Chain A
Amino acid sequence: MQNLPTLPVLLLTIFLVACGGGGGSQTIEIPETTASAPGAPTIGTITEGDASASIAFSAPTDNGGAAISGYEATCTAGSDSQTATGTESPIAVTDLTNDTTYECSVTATNSAGTGVASATVSVTPTAGSSTTNSTAGVECMYSYAAFNDSPSVNKTSIADWICDGSRRILTANGIPDHDVGTFPNSHNPNTISEQSISEEFAIEPVLTTNSTELGGPRGVTGYVLNGVKIDAGTAGSCNDSGSSCSLAPPTQGSWSIEALGQSSFNFGDDENHAHVQPGGAYHYHGIPEGFVDKLEKGTEMTLVAWAADGFPIYARYGYQDAMDASSAILIIESSYLLKSSPDANRPSISDYAMGAFTQDYEYVAGSGSNLDECNGRTGVTPEFPEGIYHYYATNGFPFLQRCVKGAL
């Protein structure tokens, strides 16, 4: 039986004022709950590399009552033991000896300490191997060309994806293939027009330990299969508080107004969480509902897009256990939360409610569905039953990812 945590006693004194003018005080005892160490993570897939191993795992079902602050992966072969740490799955353990079998495990840590280790899994790194995830054969023949008679479109939507050796190639005109809202409209005075889209993606994306912020001047975050781009963020602005805000690009300021999730400013997005840029580019800020509906997958995991790094993007639904396709399907939630208090120098919340700015949110590892800061995780999917790193479009912030974890 697991030991219950010690419960220190918080003494609270309440002063009572009795009817009739009398006064006094009473002390009551309120037990204060404390956290315990988290349970054991579950290792899913280990990908062998050249003197390395990438260990994908699921968070423990019991976080001990406190947010998990990090994980440690350890691979041991006799007296040779190598460790690596991280805040989410996967963790790459390096400096291993090739052709040697290691036993690897993962532990989770929270404010109360480090929990028990996962069950061990064997791995034998070999020279010449690398930790890549092949996407070959998946959506390599997606081709669409049809007239869209939605009143604000009235154009042919074209999107062709092909796979050629190491490349996934998109040729498209950026015209959506589903009904759209009215454009221009009162809040978005721009008209949808054809774009010239020709992009390449890695067919074997490589997961890194870094995240690269994308969107706007930094480059397109990804493309939905229908050839419409994902560009969820907005440029920053400076408030009138003076020198604390840099206007230098690419951020152009400290405060980026969110296109979704706030009602004060209406940027004319439609039911697909999309609107139109001055150059006529229709683009998504959130789940492309019209496209998702067309796929008619219901609550299945639904691949809707490819991110700039070549990893897939799924809409809304995922497995409860990332590594178990037989586990329940549920709505995946991001690991971003609204900050409990506004940042210093933030424009007043009386003018801009919390949630109006990108900067109002913070990434809290282990919260929601335990996604990483780019709304991704490693796990099995219908297209990748052995597991792959993948992203989610979520109902809540960031709606669509603002960064990628793979090499560019």
Chain B
Amino acid sequence: MTKSGGSVFVLVMGFLLTAAPNSQAHLMAEQKGTLNVVDGGAFLVLSAPVSAFKGVDDNKDGALSTEELSNHLDHVKQQIYQGIQLLSESGTSLPLRGLLLSLVHVDDNLSNPATQIMALGRFAVKDYMASFNLGVTLQGKTPKENKITITATRNGRSHKMVFTLDDDQHLLFPINPLAQ
């Protein structure tokens, strides 16, 4: 298949194509996330800004390369553990397990710098119908990065939450959303 107009796609498995749009990295929009609370765990997908992470941007270009992420994988991981926490009713932080990380590039183009990190993982939840608080402190430094919107779902009910540095913790599925 070619782009009409003559530019031929030369697509060979294993070759690096940095100019092609990375439409596969589409699982989550920037600054947004979902939390699917089901029997078996609370499954998180989150796209967080690189500027929220300290000590990882070695060349100070405001973006993260694959090398920088590889070099600082443990550091990034620890900051995610600290930056997004699901708390039980008693205030205990529930463990985030099976953390998966990938880079999300500007305009989903691999040749552009990665200014977002996508994280997937499972919070170990014993009683998924219990009461939980969600805390997020992974806001970035630019104006468009200063809030993160996460939609939680449970038993067909959804709850949209906006996290800012001044409002970084929300009760999940409150009976009266205005009272939280």
Contact = CB atoms under 8 A, between A and B. Distances in A.
B108 interface: yes
Contact of A257 (B17, B27, B153): B27
Contacts of B69: 247
Nearest to A231: B23
A408 B1 contact: yes
B140 to A, nearest CB: 17
A249 B9 contact: no
Interface in B91-108: 97-103, 107-108
Given A199-B1, A212-B12, A408-B10, A278 B26 contact: yes
A63 to B, nearest CB: 29
Contacts of A257: 27, 100, 120
B13 A213 contact: yes
B169 to A, nearest CB: 20
B1 A219 contact: yes
Interface in B1-46: 1-5, 9-13, 16-18, 20-30, 32, 34, 36, 38, 40-41, 43, 45
Interface string A219-247: 11010000000010111111110110011
Interface-centre pick from A189, A231, A255 (highest chain B CB count, 10 A): A189
B3 A200 contact: yes
Contacts of B28: 189
A264 to B, nearest CB: 5
B25 A238 contact: no
Interface in A235-277: 235-240, 242-243, 246-250, 252-253, 255-257, 259, 263-268, 277
B36 A264 contact: yes
B38 A264 contact: yes
Contacts of B24: 215-217, 231, 233-235, 256
Nearest to B24: A216
Contacts of B122: 264, 351-352
Contacts of B32: 189
B108 A351 contact: no
A200 B8 CA distance: 9
Given A265-B43, A277-B108, A218 B99 contact: no
Contact of A200 (B1, B66, B158, B160): B1
Interface string A164-187: 000001110000000000000011
A308 B3 CA distance: 11
B108 A189 contact: no
Contacts, number: 184
A201 interface: yes
Contact of A212 (B2, B13, B149): B13
Interface string A37-72: 000000000000000000000000000000000000
A238 B1 contact: no
A347 B100 contact: yes
Which bracket fits the contact residues of B? Answer: 35 or more
B3 A218 contact: no
B148 to A, nearest CB: 12
Contacts of A347: 98, 100
Contacts of A214: 11
Please report whether the interface of chain A is mostly helix, strand, loop or mixed according to DSSP. loop
A218 B13 contact: yes
Contact of B11 (A212, A249, A256): A212
A267 B27 contact: yes
A281 interface: yes
A250 B41 contact: no
A211 B27 CA distance: 26
A198 B29 contact: no
A199 B3 contact: yes
Contacts of A385: none
Contacts of B63: none
Interface-centre pick from B1, B43, B69, B118 (highest chain A CB count, 10 A): B1
7 contacts: A189-B149, A219-B1, A235-B24, A247-B69, A264-B38, A265-B43, A265-B45
Interface of A: 169-171, 186-187, 189-190, 198-202, 211-220, 222, 231, 233-240, 242-243, 246-250, 252-253, 255-257, 259, 263-268, 277-279, 281, 283, 307-310, 347-348, 350-352, 403, 408
Given A220-B1, A408-B9, 19 more contacts: A199-B1, A216-B25, A217-B110, A219-B17, A219-B20, A235-B25, A238-B102, A239-B99, A240-B73, A243-B70, A250-B16, A257-B27, A264-B40, A264-B41, A268-B34, A279-B23, A279-B26, A279-B108, A351-B97
Nearest 7 Cβ contacts at the A-B interface: A216-B24, A351-B98, A308-B1, A277-B26, A237-B100, A198-B4, A186-B158
